[in-house]
Amino acid sequence: MFEKRKKGSAHIKKDDKISQPPDADFIGDDGIEPENGEEYFPEQDYIYDDVNNQEYYYPEDSGYEAGYEQEEYADDEAYYPPEEDIPESEPVKKSSKKSKKEKTPKAPKEKSGKKEAKEKKEKSGGKAAKENKAKPEKTKAGKPEKTKAGKPEKQSGKNRKNKKQLPGEEDYIADEQPKKKGKHKKLKIILICILAVLLLAFAGITYWAYTITHNEVNLPKVYVDGVFVGGMSREQATEALDKVEWDKKAAQPFTVKLPADVSIELDRCKAGAMFTKEAAVDAAYSYGHSNNIYDNLYKYIMNIFKPVDMNDGYLKLDPEYINAKAGEVIAQFNEATADASQVVDEETDVLRFRKGAGEMKISKEKLAEKMSNALKDNSELLVYDTIESELVSPDFDAIFQELNAEPKDAKFVGDNFEVEDEVVGCTFDVQEAKDIWNNAKPADVIEIPLQIDRPEITGDYLRSLLYRDVLGSQITYFKNSSDNRKNNIRLAAEKINGVIVMPGQVFSYNETVGERTKEAGYAEASAYDNGEIVQEVGGGICQVSSTLYCAAMFAQLDTVERTNHYFKVSYLDWGMDATVSWGTLDYKFRNSREYPVKIQVYFNDEEESLQVDILGTDVDGSYVKFDRSRLLVFDDVYPDVVIGYTVIGYRNVYDAEGNFLRKVEEPIGIYYLHKDEIKYPENAGVEGEITPPA
């Protein structure tokens, strides 16, 4: 296969020896071989035979174009040089002989060459244009013109491209060496070697990246919040974090404080501002151990030169958690500052209220942004006091008019001892109050100094006087009483319990308890009736009236009406009882004190006891000791026979220091003895009937 060489290209140097193709006849212009044994051919073309590794010459009119692979053409498509290239002054001399191997070449592939050959063929009437080129024009000596040095003038390859070589012009194609097949092989080998090296390098890099990715230790220079964990396994990294008490540090909350002493704590780990210990170990290992092995290799190489702290840029805040906490603390703030009331503190003599209460607004978005920035800065506390709304100053002149007053004592009003509260005298400096408000921060608690003039008697004092003291008390027992009697005692006790008696008012037992009937719930029980023990509806209620009488007597309440029983009762001593009967006998007392009194009754079924207290106001601390005189009562017929006792009761009143003050006599009562207790003479013939003395 011949390698084509373009005409005029620099492939053959001057000194290169060129072998002629087999069976080719070449005749020089002068018939003389070139100097130095070289064969010289003017206007020569050469074709490289890559089989025989030689170059052969073909004349210009052979149809071959140097530098291109030749194709075979049919006889009628053979290429011949155009006629205008043949000098008119010289006859055309055909080649004497052709090479056996030479074939009639086809016209060049260029469209212009084929078209030109066909046009010449048509002009010549179908004749073959196989004519020899005109011989080159000779000089006077019959040889080509030489230079001063005696050698033919050379033309560069560049000039040969632009200008056709004329016969007689000496030239060598000496611009560049022909490229041989060996050089191509060497280039291929070099390229293959380079590719192999690159593949080996890529395989090595891939293996290195794979090894780093699946390594069970951290990259060499990895930190977590300043704690070195580089080159450590998960267990070793956990131990390193335990040494610095990581869990304790992670549990340290982030606190947000708002005005009005409102605060909230955030979990730094939940907020994304800090790793838990487990998350810190995972984060340290995850750096350089992703699914991208080449990225892991890059990080490994960079980490060799530059340490990486996983807290820097790898922690991600949770905006949802932070926003929720911001809303929570704002809600607390709104609740704490909602009360806009103004309170007069009489203990410290100040008017106290909160500045901007009920009208302050805090931006949730701005607070959340501040919280995020503080968490990024690893702060432990954020104090936020930015109020969005504009606060309006109170009308201190109107407040002054409302509070300004002269002092006035409290007092009882009406017959029921209702309390009219006191009036506290108050005033303050209006200008001072305005200055204090202006200098205070939003949500601050403002205290305006007051000039307070307090009255001597207050409403609370008067209310405290009522029923605060036990003025008199008495307890009796109803042991061995029947259930009916207990029932009657309980009903009567309930009727008088809680009754208030105003000063000067008279209390009536019968009016308060009412008629004792079965319809009212009373039952039949033992009672005295004209010296006889009978079953009577409401029997036993006299124990309630008698216990009340004793308590009222000790309370120094005046006895208005009181009658003792026919016989001495078992539950009280002589002169301390008071019998009652609906429509005939009643017990009454008057409240002779300055303040109201209240009857308080305690019925205890388990202890079978009845206690009556008289509650009121003890103004002087005085008290009563009961005393009595008992006189014998004799029979009118038998003057030596005792049939009863006359009992005179006394209240001995003492002051708080125990000094005797006075004696008050109670109504006189006569108690008769029972028949079996009277001792008549044996010959008296008396059957035991008692005749009351006249």
Q: How much is the pLDDT for 581?
A: 92
Evaluate whether 57 touches 34 at the Cβ level (below 8 Å).
no
Q: How much is the pLDDT for 225?
A: 86
Q: How much is the pLDDT for 682?
A: 77
Average pLDDT on 217-237 reads: 90
Evaluate whether 259 touches 333 at the Cβ level (below 8 Å).
yes
Kindly state the tokens that stand for 369. 């942004």
Handedness of CA 466, 472, 477, 483 (dihedral sign): negative
Average pLDDT on 59-68 reads: 48
Distance in angstroms (rounded) separating the CA atoms of residues 74 and 92: 24
Kindly state the tokens that stand for 229. 């964990």
Q: How much is the pLDDT for 215?
A: 84
Q: How much is the pLDDT for 44?
A: 47
Q: How much is the pLDDT for 362?
A: 93
Residue 380: what are its φ and ψ, rounded to 5°? -105, -15
Distance in angstroms (rounded) separating the CA atoms of residues 246 and 284: 14
Counting other chains too, the contacts that 424-432 makes at CB distance below 8 Å and 24 or more residues apart are 424/344, 424/346, 424/452, 424/453, 424/454, 424/455, 425/452, 425/453, 425/454, 425/455, 426/344, 426/450, 426/451, 426/452, 426/453, 427/400, 427/403, 427/451, 428/351, 428/400, 428/403, 430/396, 430/397, 430/400
pLDDT, tens digit, for every residue of 90-149?
444 444 444 344 444 444 444 444 444 445 444 444 443 344 443 444 444 444 444 444
Distance in angstroms (rounded) separating the CA atoms of residues 107 and 114: 6
Handedness of CA 180, 186, 191, 195 (dihedral sign): positive
Distances (CA, A) of 379 to 280, 303, 328: 19, 28, 20
Q: How much is the pLDDT for 125?
A: 45
Q: How much is the pLDDT for 188?
A: 86
Evaluate whether 254 touches 379 at the Cβ level (below 8 Å).
yes
Distance in angstroms (rounded) separating the CA atoms of residues 136 and 89: 10
Confidence band (pLDDT; 50, 70, 90) for 85? Answer: very low
Q: Are strands 381-383 and 254-258 parallel, antiparallel or unpaired?
A: parallel
Q: How much is the pLDDT for 421?
A: 93
Of 360, 389, 373, nearest in space to 258 by CA: 360
Confidence band (pLDDT; 50, 70, 90) for 686? Answer: low
Distance in angstroms (rounded) separating the CA atoms of residues 375 and 363: 18
Q: How much is the pLDDT for 18?
A: 43
Of 470, 503, 494, 498, nearest in space to 613 by CA: 470
Q: How much is the pLDDT for 185?
A: 83
pLDDT, tens digit, for every residue of 208-220?
888 888 888 889 9
Distances (CA, A) of 489 to 13, 215, 395, 588: 156, 96, 64, 18
Confidence band (pLDDT; 50, 70, 90) for 153? Answer: very low
Look at residue 179 and tell me whether its pLDDT is greater than 60.
no
Confidence band (pLDDT; 50, 70, 90) for 183? Answer: confident
pLDDT, tens digit, for every residue of 521-548?
999 988 776 667 778 888 999 999 999 9
Expressed in angstroms, the distance from the first to the final Cα of the chain is: 183
- pLDDT higher at 419 or 36: 419
Give the helix, strand, coil percentages of the chain, each rounded to 5: 30, 20, 50
pLDDT, tens digit, for every residue of 342-389?
998 888 999 999 999 999 999 999 999 999 999 988 899 999 999 998
Kindly state the tokens that stand for 48. 């490289």
Look at residue 510 and tell me whether its pLDDT is greater than 60.
yes
Q: How much is the pLDDT for 536?
A: 86
Would the pTM count as exceeding 0.85?
A: no
Beta bridge partners of 54: 49
DSSP helix/strand/coil, 644: strand
Evaluate whether 235 touches 327 at the Cβ level (below 8 Å).
no
Q: How much is the pLDDT for 1?
A: 40
Q: Report which secondary-structure segment, H or E, holds 547.
A: helix 542-554
The percentage of the chain sitting over the pLDDT mark of 70, rounded to a whole number, equals: 71
Distance in angstroms (rounded) separating the CA atoms of residues 641 and 690: 11
At 636, the amino acid letter reads D
Distance in angstroms (rounded) separating the CA atoms of residues 460 and 392: 37
How high does pLDDT run on average in the chain? 79
At 484, the amino acid letter reads N
DSSP helix/strand/coil, 403: helix
Q: How much is the pLDDT for 502?
A: 93
Residue 375: what are its φ and ψ, rounded to 5°? -65, -40
Q: How much is the pLDDT for 504?
A: 93
Starting at the edge strand found earlier in the chain, the sheet holding 350-354 runs: 343-345, 350-354, 445-449
Kindly state the tokens that stand for 171. 């030239």
Highest averaged pLDDT of the listed ranges 173-177, 191-195, 292-296, 560-564 = 560-564
Q: Which of 50-59, 371-380, 463-472 has the lowest mean pLDDT?
A: 50-59
Look at residue 155 and tell me whether its pLDDT is greater than 50.
no
Highest averaged pLDDT of the listed ranges 50-59, 297-306, 498-507 = 498-507
Distance in angstroms (rounded) separating the CA atoms of residues 459 and 235: 75
Q: How many helices (H) and strands (E) does the chain have?
A: 15, 29
Distance in angstroms (rounded) separating the CA atoms of residues 676 and 471: 40
Of 392, 404, 395, nearest in space to 344 by CA: 404
Q: How much is the pLDDT for 349?
A: 93
Q: How much is the pLDDT for 674?
A: 87
Handedness of CA 373, 377, 379, 384 (dihedral sign): negative
Beta bridge partners of 3: 48
Q: How much is the pLDDT for 48?
A: 52
Evaluate whether 295 touches 228 at the Cβ level (below 8 Å).
no
DSSP helix/strand/coil, 459: helix
The percentage of the chain sitting over the pLDDT mark of 90, rounded to a whole number, equals: 47
Highest averaged pLDDT of the listed ranges 27-31, 297-301, 306-310, 430-434 = 430-434
Look at residue 613 and tell me whether its pLDDT is greater than 50.
yes
Look at residue 590 and tell me whether its pLDDT is greater than 80.
yes
